Chain A
Amino acid sequence: MQKIAELMRAKAVELLQSSKAERVLAWRAGEFFYDNAPAAFNDVDACQEIVYNEFCPANLAKYLIEATKQQKKTVVFLKPCDTYGVNQLLKDHRIKREYFYAVGTPCSGMLDVKKIKELGAKAITQITCEDNKVIVETPYGTKEFAKEEVLLDKCMMCKGNEYKIADEELGEKLEPIQFVGDRFAAVKAIEAMSAEERFAFWQEELSKCIRCNACRDICPACSCEQCIFDNQEAPVGGKAAADDVEEQLFHLIRAYHVAGRCVGCGECARVCPQGVKLGLLNLKFIKDINQFYGAYQAGEDATTPSPLVSYKENDPEAEEAVQRRG
């Protein structure tokens, strides 16, 4: 990963110097090894601060909205999974192709510091990654984890190492995380519940929410100029975890609104400070769409219309859909 960071810095400098772009979106180091932050780099000197390692999970796609608004041609480094979000934003006409230059950036899976901590590493002073080992230093001793144990949930559902949009690719593609099992297994378990159980499950899950809106704000499919939940005229408070019904409505409306546009990037679940299992809701929609209209992956390209906004004669009628679902 260190080599990739060097390539990124060189590429960023080259593109700025050749006037192909005015600014660069990448990651900047934090206080600890694991807290790299998405950042804008405006000149060649600043580009020396670009970092890349196993702790760059944030998708930079959404910052392209800002780039489009400012009409500033921006270099953006995209991991394979990030490219889906970019395509979706293009399809939704929220970003313009002429304002960004996409550089495909190899990834071999991002790590989850929360998992590392849950596995008992307290007061982390250093993390080193070697092949499939993650070595964590703390004042209480060194801990070693297997990479699979501490991968981010979203990386366990890796979509592969292809870039769905890129002006160029950096270095060689890396081996993607091999996804094992059924990605809808958890959704199926919920479908198998009785209506009452399911209601209780979601009620409990969604009542954890504190309405910080981080899930919405990071989502490449949530890109409205003004979110309906930020509407002051509405009688309900968009940022008040006032009562359970409102939280549930927020999540249901959001899930419906991104249905067919959700790229399954898993960012919403990753950023939630309360650990709400948001991915399940989106996966349910993805599963149903696949079942009713044939396999569809949002963000695969920037043109194919979503099955939910296109009509085909053989689309199932509502009743049929219910039957097909079983």
Chain B
Amino acid sequence: MLKITLDNLPKLLAALSELGELQVPCENKSGKVDFEKWNAEKRPRFDITLTSKSAKDLFFPQVEDLLAFKTKGKNLSIEQIMPSDKKVILMGVRACDIKSFELLDKVFLKDPVDTYYKARRENTLIIGMACSEPEETCFCGSFGIDATAPGGDVTTWITKDALYWQANTEAGKTLTEKVADLMEEAEASKVEEQAAVTKAVLEKMPLANFKVAGKIPQDELKTFNSKIWEEISAGCLSCCTCTYVCPTCHCYDIRDYAVSDNHTERYRCWDSCLASDFTKMAHGNPRKTKVERFRQRYMHKLVYFPNNNEGDFACVGCGRCLQKCPVNLNIVKVAKALEVSEDV
């Protein structure tokens, strides 16, 4: 394990930014902390537990162009618009968000492989950061995620005075070799101490004993027909907040945009199963009511996804939906209701 004092941290960041586009949590113009490209003027906010939005934008941006159609006389040309092949170093990712990349991989890297996602994913090196001040809305532990050992190509821990650094993968080791000069050898004891304190705090959090695995009936039809849906969805506004801030939600729409008479761009943008026009076909939206659409989001996360992915739920317990839903509906409420519902 290596370490660098916090006073010297800007030197490490500068060195990393020479090796690729360094993305770290920074306060943006909204006063929110989100991943942003670092430069010497920017102060990283590693003190914030979670970024406002998740890091999925880095691989799966909210809007991206896919193709361009251009006509010239009678000729039509089609160009694929690929993401740039710049190297990205994504630093300060928490354990829950790192797990979310693994889940997104199951969607986008399975056949048929999503070339756009793959290109970005392969060009990105991930530096995880252990949590030391979890929030009450955190429940990563419910999914077996260890907030104090986030993984990634490199794992880091921040204490009062230093950043500790441990390479995990080959790519992580190669990166470490390039910046090791700036750091010194360190014992793991400080990090272990911190982890013990963090775990003690996590145990005091309101959701410490909240479990999903084994609690929710995985019988698709039974859960689908549960009588909880009508009542629990009543307050939902059908906005897209929960979907957009969620690190594991991955639905998108593909649309065409006419740039000019002879130039059209095909782009994709995030979509949400809560939206009234989601998967709208000639006959309309197959899920006509809010109840059905609301049910879809949670059935997907809690039942369909695990049934198709070796039991992995499509939730990592980051708690963003708990923090951001305008009417305080969220996956915990749904999971608890399903658990106690006698009819499932």
Interface positions of A (Cβ within 8 A of B): 30-32, 35-40, 42, 46, 58, 62-63, 66, 122-125, 139-140, 204, 208, 210-214, 216-218, 226, 230, 232, 235-237, 239-242, 270-271, 273-276
Contacts and interface: CB of A to CB of B under 8 A. Distances in A.
Contacts, number: 137
Contacts of B235: 37-40, 58, 63
Q: Which 7 A-B pairs have the closest CB atoms?
A: A240-B269, A271-B326, A214-B239, A40-B234, A217-B237, A38-B235, A37-B328
Given A31-B206, A38-B327, A122-B135, A239 B238 contact: no
Contact of B32 (A36, A236, A275): A275
A125 B136 CA distance: 7
Given A37-B333, A123-B201, A32 B136 contact: yes
B213 interface: no
Contacts of B46: none
B25 to A, nearest CB: 15
A158 B199 CA distance: 42
B327 A37 contact: yes
B204 interface: yes
Contact of B30 (A38, A241, A274): A274
Given A39-B234, A208-B30, A237-B255, 16 more contacts: A30-B333, A38-B235, A38-B327, A62-B237, A123-B135, A123-B201, A208-B29, A210-B53, A210-B244, A214-B237, A218-B326, A230-B275, A237-B63, A239-B275, A240-B267, A242-B269
A43 B320 CA distance: 32
A35 B328 contact: yes
B206 A239 contact: no
Contacts of B52: 273-274
Interface string B202-215: 00111100000000
B62 A241 contact: yes
Interface of B: 28-32, 49, 52-53, 62-63, 133-137, 201, 204-207, 231, 234-235, 237-241, 243-245, 253, 255, 257-258, 267, 269-272, 275-277, 280, 322, 324, 326-329, 332-333
Given A212-B244, A273-B245, A124 B328 contact: no
A210 B320 CA distance: 15
A38 B245 CA distance: 21
A123 B136 contact: yes
Contacts of B205: 123, 125, 139
B239 A213 contact: yes
A58 B133 CA distance: 29
Contact of A31 (B31, B32, B253, B322): B322
